[in-house]
Structure 1
Amino acid sequence: MNIMILTARFGMGHYKVAEAIKEDIEKNDSGINATIVDFMSFLLPETSKLIYKCYDQLVFRSARLYNAIGKASNKVNSLPLKYIIALRISKLISDNNADAIIVAFPLCSHYISAYKEMSGNKIPMYTCITDVPAHSDWIAEDTRLYFVSSEETKETLVAKGVDEDAVRITGVPVRSEFKSDGVASEATVEKKKLLVMGGGLGLLPGSDALLDRLAGMSDVKVTIVAGKNKELESKMTEKYPGFRVLGYTEEIGKLMKESDAVITKPGGVTMFEAINTGTPMYIVKPFLLQEIGNAEYIEKNHIGRVLWSEKDATADDIDAYISNTGNIEAMKNNMYDIAKKDEKCDIITEILSDMGKVELKCS
């Protein structure tokens, strides 16, 4: 059996989800072959890198425009180049000999749905939504099941017309390195360990002022992950000699597990990586639409602190947050409860059940 996972590298979170799904498939059933396809690279192999670079610039230089585009697309049902792309999809499915498709990036499902309608192909399609907010781009005709992060996401989909029986709450899939060892770890009593990371480009809003405050705190040990941003890595190393500064690393899971808190952006994948490692979050001024929704989820479930204004991120506030051992422990326990609840619903088991391969279903 061959399963094709469609994703894209807009922000890297979607691709990480695809990798986590592939890992789970290969771990749980050796008879299934999973292939990840970067949908943009497949469609536009010559220009996809430029498109991704433009996206990164849009996010970090004009979040207001990004949000405006997102709100507008939520109301638009048109599908550019639908027929041409549908022809390409036929070749994609054939080349990968796909028996089922999992979508881990919005819009992919719409093109697959259009292809199925035009061709009459009945290949089953499943969608994994990677944030708490559920943009309309995720919803497409003939989607067999939606895998979502939370009850809030499920309610949003149902309100938009999705059949309740087609929605499964699984949490956002994360790789095994982020999975808990079974117990909520205790906060350290020595120097508090803070992990600072802002996604693939290693950027956070107002990060300079925030890091300056951390540099003045003698009782914390700070690790900065600059991601693939070499210029940022060099700048941070020079400016903050007392910090440990890393570039791109595959050891984020280990770094989270050994930290008392992570200062980061509330991307859906990062949020569930933190949940699974039991690392409370400290979020400063979320500004992208999906991140605002994720931040609200963090507040509601008491798994981190969200500051809606940069000026509130004072040294005193950070110190009070990480020094409140009781509060940190409560957050760790809440994260543990969420992770254990999500384990009750497994994506690949649900897909196999839907396809008639197994009888087991989520409770």
Structure 2
Amino acid sequence: MINKQLGIIGAISVGFITGTTLPAYTANLNYFYDPSNSVANNALNLTDNILNVINYYEGLQGDFSSEAEMIVRDTFVNLSNYMGTDGLDNAIAAGFRPFTPIFKGHGVHYVKPLNILDPAKATEPIGLNFDEHGNLVAAFYFQEQHVINGPGTGFYSTLEDIEPNELITHYQNFKEDYNTSAPDIFDDFGNLAAWHTHNDVKIDNIGSLDSEEVVFGQDLSDQEWVHALLTGLGDDDIDLAIYEQEQSDPSDPSQYPFYNTLMTPGFHMIHIWLGAENQDGLFAGTHDDVAPNAVDEHGGHGGHGGHGNGGIPSEPQDPVSVPEPSVLGMLATSGLLGLVSALKRRFNKAK
């Protein structure tokens, strides 16, 4: 039996759905590799592919330092197994799962759920972007925006002894007091590396291989976010990443990932376009020719965070029914706050 370090014993019902493979090539995109050839990135031509990447972006944005060029080289090598006709299958076998539905300008974001709290590393992206044809177009990195150093991570580890009527204010103060700057892993690229943020995030149905089952929500109100956290902590069918940690056996598909919902006050994020040429730059936020007919990230599934360099701004969300403060009070007084305290005691005892 898998024991949770902080948590609720709940059931995860995850359906691994095999999707239909779409044609591997689209004339609207210029790839740095041959999408129709599963061995296109072997040692015979990998060097040429990397040179094509460097030449393209240096011609577009100016010469890179030798350190920046090395990051491009090493990252491309690490991504090469996810290029070609077997690329998406290889990514899934390596543990990547849909993080979003397919979005215009992005494709589908895939992420390794077991590694979401790992510090960002320049040559080891935590995420991959596949276009509507199943071809790798980019990789991405993210890191928590609001972090507490120590055994606990995020807002949950600060909840003990907070009164119900103080939850919203406590959450707002937490974000202000524990705000962090973006990682410096791409400082060698100067101002070309523009990070953006995603705030007040809730992502449901992580673990399904059908990306359209994933619901990506962000820019929730403080009240909505706290209410969703308390509801998740009290619902055995919801297993929250970060807030309910447990050890998972990656060799057991029925236990991977060990959560079905990700909630975070916010994270820093950046894309690197090493699969397909992006005329807006190596670290552009979107690509005009990727999934042009898909839903916009500003729409139905939740708004987008603010991009760097004056890029895509946040847009207002559709009206949402927000629980009244009295509802939060009832939830807390009916046992959820007691649950939080119990979880904290269990966590402290485990330390």
Structure number with higher helix proportion: 1
Higher relative contact order (CA 8 A, sep 6+): 2
**TM-score, normalised on structure 2?**
0.24
